[in-house]
Amino acid sequence: MQTASRDAGGWFSRSRTVAGPGYSRWMVPPAALCVHLCIGQAYAFSVFNLPMTRLIGITESAPDDWKLTELGWIFSLAIFFLGVSSALFGRWVEEGGPRKAMFTAACCWAGGFLISAFGVAIHNLWVIYLGYGVIGGIALGIGYISPVSTLIKWFPDRPGMATGMAIMGFGGGAFIASPLSVWLMNRFKTDTHVGVMETFAVLGIVYFVFMVVGSVLVRVPAPGWKPEGYVEPTQATRLITRNDVYVYDALKTPQFWLIWWVLCLNVTAGIGVLGQASAMSQEMFPGVITPVAAAGFVGLMSLFNMGGRFCWATVSDYIGRKNTYFVFMVLGFVLYCTVPHAGAIGSVSLFVVCFLIIISMYGGGFSTVPAYLKDMFGTRYVGAIHGLLLTAWSAAGIFGPVLVNYIRAYNVNHGVPKAQAYNTTMYIMAGLLVIGFICNFLVKAVDKKYHMKREAGEAALDVVAGEAAARA
């Protein structure tokens, strides 16, 4: 009966993904990238906004066409449900294994696109809210955390680099998806429709194939496996534990909430700027930065967002997670305070350099935090804890754009020139990073009372070992 229950999941069960002898851990990063490069399309969704305001009018918006404000909720819903699903399903992802989670994410992501294609066909925005916003958002949450948790277990010697490899794909996904989506819409465009429906359908099918490939490739290490030549420290350092903390016990610690605020404030400072980079650059340098140049600037930001996820996470393996976030907060503070000066002296190059570094640290914050959590709470439930922490992303996805958009609108309405309308926001972002610095400073080692007893950890390993034996 016990063996039967273990095999109930079949091909999708965690026991069927335990790596056998000779399996290379370097197969896991490509599997993770198969998922993250696909779901990273979320950051490129804005390319559909303007075409979707002309579904009826084709060349220009008709009275019955959707408004940009209505379409803006699609992305917001997706990010919101990313945080919700990662929090709700984090433990299920950890215990069910990466293959089941990644395949589920593939079905939801592809299904979200196909449902959205149907919503475009019948011109029903609520169907798109459901498809891309809710179901696609669930896919984002599950697909985001499952590869990260697995990579941390495969790379105990370089957890920062490992998470950086996967999360780099989320930043790079938008860089690929943006021109691909535009190309597909142009291919499918006719005199009677703009090509959005067909593009949604094609992307859904393509993403499903790639994500399923990732679920086939992925494996979890066998109990007791260690990288060749790796010697686990016999004693924990001040901020790196050898003990595990149960997922719901982590919520009781001040460390979890301090890191939550560290991530939230770092993301808030970056995401609002990322969403308005094109408009901001043109308004701060009118007549100097053209729409074409602004588009190139946005592309550069995507590259630095992607590269920063890998580079900063790798750096954290050498200087530590806490010190890496100190760099984010201090350097970010200086750069945000410099941006208004760059606008005042008309220095486009200084403006661009400031924001490219800021966006690299924005991406680096995402890729470094899973390793930060691993250091504080151990590896056993790091995926589930990471899922709960991503609610900070959902909150920042609201705070950041609101701060940028509404403060700009307030300043413009009160006679402030558009070129100076963002200055207040930059100083507020700098202030947020000061708060983030304080939160990061307060992070200490987790109290021993929250550590799982060794017997519990050994029992968990025995379960996995039994599953592997049953498979054999």
CA–CA dist 127, 130 (Å, integer): 5
447 and 343 in a single domain? The answer is yes
Cβ–Cβ under 8 Å, residues 376 and 258: no
Length of the chain: 472
Based on the fold, state whether residues 370 and 321 are members of the same structural domain: yes
Total domains in the fold of the chain: 2
Residue position matching structure tokens 């008709």: 62
pLDDT reported for residue 233: 60
Pair 106, 51: CB distance under 8 Å:
no
Judgement on whether residues 29 and 173 belong to the same structural domain of the protein: yes
* The last residue of a domain, from among 188, 222, 256: 222
Condensed to tens digits (0 to 9), the pLDDT of residues 20-62 reads 888 888 889 899 999 999 998 888 887 888 889 889 888 888 8
Residues 322 and 423 occupy one common structural domain: yes
Which of 200, 222, 244 is the last residue before a domain boundary? 222
Residue 209: its pLDDT value, please?
97
Please choose, from the candidates 430, 86, 384, 435, the residue with its C-alpha nearest in 3D space to the C-alpha of residue 258. Answer: 435
179 and 264 housed in the same domain: no
Phi, psi for 219 (deg, rounded to 5): -140, 160
Please write down the HEC assignment for all residues of 377-397. HCCCCHHHHHHHHCHHHHHHH
Calpha distance 190→185 (Å, rounded): 10
Please check whether residue 15 is in contact with residue 220, taking contact to mean a CB–CB distance below 8 angstroms.
no
Q: 310 with 384, same domain? A: yes
Residue 394 lies in a domain: yes
Q: Is there a contact between 361 and 332 (Cβ–Cβ < 8 Å)?
A: yes
CA distances from 432 to 58, 170, 362, 367, 396 (A): 43, 25, 14, 20, 12
pLDDT in tens, 131-142: 999 999 999 999
Assess if residue 153 is contained within a domain. Answer: yes
283 found inside a domain:
yes
In a domain, 8, yes or no: no
What are the backbone dihedrals phi and psi of residue 66, each rounded to the nearest 5 degrees, phi first? -75, 150
Write the CATH number for 27.
1.20.1250.20
In a domain, 228, yes or no: no
Interatomic CA distance for residues 148 and 105, integer angstroms: 14
DSSP 106-163: HHHHHHHHHHHHHHHHHT-HHHHIIIIIIIHHHHHHHHHHHHHHHHHHH-TT-HHHHH
Residues 197 and 75 in one domain: yes
What is the reported pLDDT for 397? 77
* Residue at a domain's end among 182, 198, 222: 222
- Clarify whether residues 416 and 364 are in a common domain: yes
Q: Report the pLDDT value the prediction gives residue 458, as an integer from 0 to 100.
A: 47
3-class DSSP assignment, residue 443 = coil
Residue 332 tokens, joined? 């970010």
Q: What residues pair up with 220 in beta bridges, in sequence order?
A: 18
Q: How far apart are CA 246 and CA 47, in angstroms?
A: 41
Q: What is the three-class DSSP state of 276?
A: coil
Among the residues of 251-320, which ranges form H helices?
254-275, 277-284, 291-319
Q: Phi-psi bin for 446: left (phi > 0), alpha (psi -120 to 50), beta?
A: beta
pLDDT at 417: 83
Residue 4 lies in a domain: no
Per-residue confidence (pLDDT) for residue 262, from 0 to 100: 96
Are 43 and 165 contained in the same domain?
yes
User: What does the alpha-carbon distance between residue 364 and residue 352 come to, in Å, rounded to a whole number?
Assistant: 18
Contact present, 342 and 351 (Cβ < 8 Å):
yes
Residue 100: both structure tokens together: 């089941």
Mean pLDDT split into 10-residue runs, the chain, 472 residues: 48 82 88 92 84 87 85 85 89 88 96 96 95 95 88 85 81 83 91 92 97 93 82 63 87 95 91 74 84 78 87 91 95 94 91 93 91 89 88 83 78 81 88 95 91 60 42 41
Separation of alpha carbons 159 and 376, rounded Å: 13
Residue 344 and residue 213 share a domain: no
Give me 57's structure tokens: 């009018």
pLDDT value for 471: 44
pTM of the model as a whole: 0.79
Q: What is residue 365's predicted lDDT score, i.e. its pLDDT?
A: 92
Distance of alpha carbon 196 from alpha carbon 402, whole angstroms = 28
Considering the domain boundaries, does residue 468 fall inside one? no
Task: Identify the DSSP state of 305.
Answer: H
Residue in the structure block whose two tokens are 């966006």? 359
Cβ proximity of 379 and 157 under 8 Å:
no
Tokens of 93: 């992802």
Spatial distance between the Cα atoms of 48 and 116, rounded to a whole number of angstroms: 12
The amino acid that residue 182 corresponds to is V
Whether residue 466 lies inside any domain: the answer is no
For residues 117 and 197, is the Cβ–Cβ distance under 8 A? yes
Residues 406 and 271 in one domain: yes
Q: Which domain holds residue 425?
A: 236-452
Torsion sign, CA atoms 366, 273, 46, 289 = negative
Both structure tokens of 4: 């039967």
Do 138 and 254 fall within a single domain? no
